Structure 1
Amino acid sequence: MGELDEEAMHDSEVLPAERPNPLVIAAGITARGGVLWLVVAGLLALAGRPATAKRALLAAAVALPIGHLTGLAVPRRRPRTSMPARTALPEHPDSSSFPSKHAVTAAAFGTATALVDRKAAAFVVPLVLLVAYSRLRTRVHWPSDVLGGLLIGAAVALVLTRV
């Protein structure tokens, strides 16, 4: 897996080395600590979907500490790079790279939304994917960190749906 992660981090058409689009940078910054999902939940509630907003926020709120605890249990160094893609971020996180907490929270919110409200999911899922991509594009996570985060977040939302 480490070799695949290393290969994916090189300059390519999918993950260019130059500075990312401001929208990609903004997705990563606003999703920090789940702030983006608070705003999205507010928009869902204003759009007449308060139950969806509550369920999605609950999933994200449960998933975030699970992501942090997993990071403590599975310490992993972050990719080291000085590419413009990485230096575009105002933050330079040094916590464990696995899992991507941004991806954990995004996937929990998006999966919970998709399980209860397909129309709202059409709006939310692209944001989830943008946040996940932002973590790769800005080189703060290995691809397996983001994939692991997406899987953990989705699992949390699925478990909560059954509880």
Structure 2
Amino acid sequence: MKSVKKLLLLAFAVCLAVGFSGCLEQPKIEVVGQKIQKVDADNTKIEIQVLVDNPNPIGISIDKISFDIYALVGGDKIYLGHGEQSNIKITSGNTTFTLPVTISNKKLVEVALKEKSTKIPIEIKGDIAVNLFITKVNIPIDIQQEIDVSAIAKEEVLNQLNNLNPNQIQSIAQ
């Protein structure tokens, strides 16, 4: 039992030393694509493809990523949607994973009308729960950026057109 405690203490000391020595580099995270999965009267479901370039020799486990998306309109925050994914394994090198996101169409249209633009400033707030084997760490997400919702509408129209059969196309053309 004492040897297990010593081993855990040694492992913890090594992790602290490596973590605080600057030997580990911060992974680079990039959104590499998005795909509309489903559009109905209430919501748009989008899958966002995320690429993580981890230059470190060890990977990490993300227990959960959870975030809310808000539109920033006239000093107000209007809830637009939510994204969440669990059990993500980030290896050394490149790892790609998918984040499912659900957006309220009603709120999105409401915000676009208030802004009188398809370009909407948004805020993404949430947490990333990282499992470091010895402990778990919550990393806050707080991102502000602008999105262009016309791209979502354009992609959905193109998808609908691609799914038409020849009879439907002929009836539209007449």
TM-score band by shorter chain is under 0.3
Higher relative contact order (CA 8 A, sep 6+): 1
Greater Rg over alpha carbons, structure: 2
Q: Please give the TM-score of this superposition, normalised by the length of structure 1.
A: 0.26
| Structure that is richer in strand per residue | 2
| Structure that is richer in helix per residue | 1
Q: Please give the TM-score of this superposition, normalised by the length of structure 2.
A: 0.25
